[in-house]
Amino acid sequence: MLTDYNFQELQIYVKKLGLPVFRAEQLYDAIYSAKTVDEISNLPKGLKEIIAPDYPNYEIFQSLKSKDGTIKFLIKFSDGNFVECVLMKYKYGYSICLSTQVGCRMGCKFCASTLGGLARNLTAGEILGQLLLVNRFLGGSRKERKITNVVLMGSGEPLDNYDNVIKFIHLVTASKGLNISERNISLSTCGLVDKIYDLADENLNITLTISLHATTDEKRSLIMPIANSYLIKDLIKACKDYYQKTKRKIYFEYTLIKGINDSKDDVVRLKNLLKDFMCHVNVIVLNNVAERSLQKTTRLEAYKFVDCLKEAGISATVRRTMGEDIEGACGQLRNKILSFNN
């Protein structure tokens, strides 16, 4: 699919078809403005027919707007697969949360994305396509970028689709394309330690976010199967390496689950784990997922948890919940649509 190509690759594609090189510019513009083939006005009809099989035909299948302004999109790909992406409005502009896989094979107990397992990886162009479609939805185009921030926190595990995710980062930051700053991109992982070392060597200025969610290996493995493969101490070591190499502050996600990870002892252990490096803890109130039986901690308790961390000198905040009324948690909307269709 043509969205997978960077500009140079698009030029080669155009050349191979025996076309003049300016066609690459026209195609690039159409793709980055999320036009359909039919909407491209500066290509002859015969040519459109030739490129049509390679031209992206993903689409926004459905959108749901929350009372707080957050919009959740269900994106449909040409093979009939769906993923979700979420648009959030902040003071500084729009941020988009993108999916990296259809489903997920990580098996976290609180997450809706992983319920049906992994269907397939998304290509770099499909990860980018979500952003291009939503940019257009906001009235934007290649030359008019409406979205400034990207978080790879939708369905899927980005580091389990490593090569496509790295390629996506190169595509989305290309100055000729949407030119999004590396510094405005966050990648969230449940902690594939080997890949964190690889990522640190990519020379990218992106923010690494770790879904930690527990303070002992035993508790972590109760809710996150990845904890059976990697110890927390090795995960933290990899994060320190990432910080050493990139000088980017590490973010930790800590979703409070009643009776599992919200005790006073957890705060103490968290403090000991994170005490001597540049990081921030996002404490999250669990989004209820109907298919899961875990109980959430109240918002008030979440604030208390954060206060304890702050007293210990650790930077921490309770994450704003957005889009709760539109099945905001990962994978919830897709699951609903799939069960409607089955």
Catalytic (active-site) positions: 84, 330
* In the complex, minimum distance from the CB of residue 327 to ligand SAH, in angstroms, rounded to a whole number: 10
Q: How far is the CB of 253 from ligand SAH (least distance, A)?
A: 4
DSSP 138: T
Task: Pick the closer one to ligand SAH by CB: 3 or 287.
Answer: 287
3-state secondary structure of 243: helix
312/310 Cα distance (integer angstroms): 5
- Residue closer to ligand SAH (CB basis): 44 or 117: 117
Nearer to ligand SAH, 170 or 292 (CB): 292
Residue pointed to by tokens 């185009």 = 141
User: Can you tell me the distance from the alpha carbon of 74 to that of 264, in angstroms, rounded to the nearest whole number?
Assistant: 39
Phi and psi torsions of 55, nearest 5°:
-75, 140
Residue 322 tokens read as 């957005």
CB closer to ligand SAH out of 121 and 189: 189
Q: Are strands 118-121 and 147-152 parallel, antiparallel or unpaired?
A: unpaired
Rounded least distance, CB 303 to ligand SAH, Å: 16
Distance between start and end Cα atoms, the chain: 28
Residue in the block written with tokens 């499909």: 126
Nearest approach, Cβ of residue 218 and ligand SAH (Å): 18
Q: Which is nearer to ligand SAH, 26 or 221 (CB)?
A: 221
* Shortest separation between residue 151's beta carbon and ligand SAH, angstroms: 8
Strand-pair partners of 74? 62, 84
**CA 223/CA 111 separation, integer angstroms:** 10
Which residues lie near ligand SAH (CB under 6 A)? 106, 110-111, 153, 157, 188-190, 211, 253, 255, 284, 286-287, 289, 329-330
What minimum distance in Å lies between the beta carbon of 18 and ligand SAH?
Answer: 43
Report yes or no: 333 and 79 within 8 Å, Cβ to Cβ. no
Q: What gap in Å lies between CA 5 and CA 269, rounded to an integer?
A: 46
202 CB-contact burial (10 Å; exposed 0-12 / middle 13-18 / buried 19+): middle
Distance CA 210, CA 187 (A): 8
Closer CB to ligand SAH, 132 or 153, in the complex: 153
